[in-house]
Amino acid sequence: MSGRVLSDATLGEIARLRDAYPQAQSALLPALHAAQDQVGYLSPEAIADVAQALGLAETEVTSVASYYSMFFLTPVGRHKIRVCTNLSCYLNGAEEVLRRLCERLGVSPGETTADGRVLLEAVECLGACEEAPVVLADATRHARVTAAGADDLLRELR
Ligand code: FES
């Protein structure tokens, strides 16, 4: 049995989520978000803690976590930059923004910087097409981003 990694605060949040739904499965996605927010990714220990807190099988929790691209089962950058490359954003310069971020960070989309600080991803529509091109830096959404704006965004992360 591996050691517990989730904090009392995270486990408390998961307990509140569990109580908010008639079925434990319904609390699974928000519980996984809470675990990932704390640990940075869903380690086997974090998965085990979530499973135990919700009374679910670890295999079920692992299969849900591995289904969704928003969850990471291996360590990734502490900061996550997501560039939408869907149609509206593509037509408004997302490729140039993504290229600039790749250059500045020294990574390709889907990779984490060598120092482990930043994960860069190209993603599907972020639901804010009227603000294209859109970049999500951690929880902050940036609208109408230009290549120069991408530089500013990176400075803000430091
Ligand atoms: S296409 Fe980029 S936010 Fe919708």
Residues of the chain with confidence (pLDDT) below 50: 1
Distance 92 CA to ligand 1 centre (A): 10
Query: pTM score, two decimals?
Result: 0.76
Predicted local distance difference test score (pLDDT) of residue 102: 98
Please report the atom of ligand 1 found closest to the CA of residue 88: 1
Domain boundaries, the chain: 8-67, 79-157
Predicted local distance difference test score (pLDDT) of residue 2: 54
Give tens-digit pLDDT for 30-54: 999 999 999 989 999 999 999 999 9
According to CATH, what is the number of the domain 8-67? 1.10.10
Ligand 1 pocket (Cβ < 6 Å) reads 84, 86-89, 125-129, 132, 134
Residue from 125, 136, 142, 144 to probe ligand 1 pocket by mutation (most atoms less than 8 Å from CB) = 125
Q: Please tell me the distance from the alpha carbon of residue 94 to that of residue 38, in angstroms, as a whole number.
A: 30
Q: What is the mean pLDDT of the chain?
A: 95
Phi-psi region of 30 (alpha: psi -120 to 50; beta: other; left: phi over 0): alpha
Burial per residue of 35-54, b for 16 or more beta-carbon CB atoms within 10 angstroms, e otherwise: bbebbbbbbebbbbbbbbbb
Predicted local distance difference test score (pLDDT) of residue 139: 85
Class of domain 79-157: alpha beta
Q: Please tell me the distance from the alpha carbon of residue 102 to that of residue 95, in angstroms, as a whole number.
A: 10
